[in-house]
């Protein structure tokens, strides 16, 4: 079953290599999507793929060195699956 999730990360998540680390972690999973900074200081991530892969990817982020920067993460289902080739860092 294919799943798409949007995760909003709050904490000290900008200016610490967060997006680059997420992209590196994504290489180990069969997911597509993107990660980007938001103007309010949060980081948004959208990922799509088999449910187990997406869940394992999100869990891997939480178990990585990034956990020290995450104060809160909020999960939701996006209205549309992320439009991306592979997993990318967005600057829009």
Q: Among the options 36, 37, 55, 90, which is catalytic?
A: 37
Torsion (CA) 17, 20, 24, 30 in degrees, nearest 10: 130
37 is a catalytic site residue: yes
d(CA 33, CA 53): 13
Handedness of CA 63, 68, 73, 77 (dihedral sign): negative
Q: Among the options 19, 24, 67, 71, which is catalytic?
A: 19
12 is a catalytic site residue: no
Task: Collect all residues with Cβ–Cβ distance below 8 Å to 40 and sequence separation of at least 6.
Answer: none
Residues in the chain: 92
Supply the residues annotated as catalytic.
19, 37
């Amino acid at each position: 079953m294919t799943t798409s999730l949007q995760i909003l990360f709050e904490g000290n998540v900008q200016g610490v290599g967060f997006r680059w680390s997420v992209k590196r972690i994504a290489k180990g999973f069969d997911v597509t999507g993107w990660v980007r900074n938001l103007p309010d200081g949060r980081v948004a991530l959208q990922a799509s793929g088999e449910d187990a892969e997406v869940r394992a990817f999100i869990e891997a982020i939480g178990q990585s060195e990034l956990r020290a920067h995450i104060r809160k993460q909020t999960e939701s289902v996006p209205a549309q699956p992320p439009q991306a080739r592979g997993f990318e860092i967005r600057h829009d």
